[in-house]
Amino acid sequence: MLWHKFSGEPLRMPVKSAVEEAIIREKNAGYKLKVCIGTDSQVRAGGTEFATVIVFLREKRGGFMFISNEKTTQPYSIKERMLVEVARSIEIAFELCDLFSKYDVDMEVHADINTNPQFKSNEALREAMGYILGMGYAFKAKPDAFASSCCADKMVN
């Protein structure tokens, strides 16, 4: 995965190193951090575009994020696409979880899945929730899953 900042500036190091550097910088500045990881996707002609975000929240002081965009030509059902989004978020959460433990940073995985059964994405809710909770991560779904439903949603090209 290639990562960049909100400004579009590419991360010039592996994402794990950039996350650790950010945590150290923010903690040294006196901020209490929380990290939320989420993915959103859009189906477009010729494929699906995914955006995964790592959102750093400074308690009462705003935040910032790192973003990764990917495109695939593989077709997905709505349920498959929701579970692929969750898998992408879990993949990065798993890669970074030791840093969050080391520096005592709370982390949540956000799924862009509606808790209202009237929405098609709800078909994937049970599996997604089981997957995330089974990995031992805190889980949020819509309307509380802002990392995926707001931040990543705006980053899908």
3-state SS class at 33: strand
pLDDT below 70 — which residues of the chain? 157
pLDDT computed for residue 64 by the predictor: 97
Q: Give the number of other CB atoms < 10 A from CB of residue 151.
A: 22
pLDDT computed for residue 16 by the predictor: 98
63-72 and 106-114 strand pairing: unpaired
* Token pair listed for 43: 């189906």
pLDDT computed for residue 98 by the predictor: 97
Nearest to 111 by CA among 144, 145, 69: 145
pLDDT computed for residue 157 by the predictor: 66
Nearest to 105 by CA among 59, 147, 151: 59
148 has which bridge partners?
none
- Are the C-beta atoms of residues 142 and 113 closer than 8 Å to each other? yes
- Are the C-beta atoms of residues 144 and 36 closer than 8 Å to each other? no
The position carrying tokens 């695939």 is 72
pTM: 0.92
First to last CA, the chain: 15
